[in-house]
Structure formats: C-alpha cells, structure tokens
Amino acid sequence: QLQASGGGLVQAGGSLRLSCAASGRAFSNRNMAWFRQAPGKEREFVAAVSWRGDRPYYADSAKDRFTISRDTAKNTVYLQMNSLKSEDTAVYYCAADRLSYRTTLRDVADEYDYWGQGTQVTVSS
C-alpha cells in the first residue's frame, strides 16, 4: 500500500528525490515519515511530516540537506536529498503513523504501522 521509489546510485554531493505513493487506502490523515537502514545497523529515523503537510521534523543527520514534503492530492510523500554523503547509503523506507491526526511527530519506528518496501540509495565517495 506504500510504494517507495527514486533510489539509485549517486556520487557524493549529488541529489536524489524519493517518492512514496500510497494506494489502496488514503493516508491523508496520517503523519508520514522516512526511515533508513544501512547494512548491519538498526533502522533509523530520517524525517517526518504532519498529516497537514506542515511542521517537518528531521534527524540531525538530515537537517539542512533533506526536505520532506507531501502532496495530498497525489497521496504521495517525497524526500528530497541534497549534498549526499557516503554515510547516507541505506535502504530508505516510508511509513505511516499508526494513529490518525496525531498532533506530534514521532521518530520511533514502533509508532508507524504501514511501511513501504524500501528503496536502495547508494552514495559513492
């Protein structure tokens, strides 16, 4: 129901735009987030956006380089990633908050119950 795309191989300093398209049900009333998981590491929070599309929240590693946004009409969430570094290499997952209309953005994976299949991002140095 969540389909992530847009990953690929990019050189350090480059950019990628990830997309997460929802199908089968609408997530317009859910906060949405991106997480990532590098080989041998735990899944970590990257960014979240409220169900209204405002108040983006970023992990320190993503601040000033990544931008999360959503297009409710298209039922799609985006993650624009600029100035990519080798340490950004990971599988990126989009996720929907398990609660509707939550007023706070969460950075813990357990607070999200719908997950996309992941898209690989590889940054070469």
User: What are the tens digits of pLDDT across the range 6-51?
Assistant: 999 999 999 999 999 998 777 999 999 999 999 999 999 999 999 9
Distance CA 99, CA 84 (A): 32
CB contact at 8 A, 35 and 45:
yes
Neighbours of 42 (CB within 10 A): 8
Distance CA 120, CA 9 (A): 8
Determine phi and psi for 122, rounding to 5 degrees. Answer: -125, 125
How confident is the model at residue 91, as a pLDDT? 98
What the block records as the tokens of 51 is 């169900």
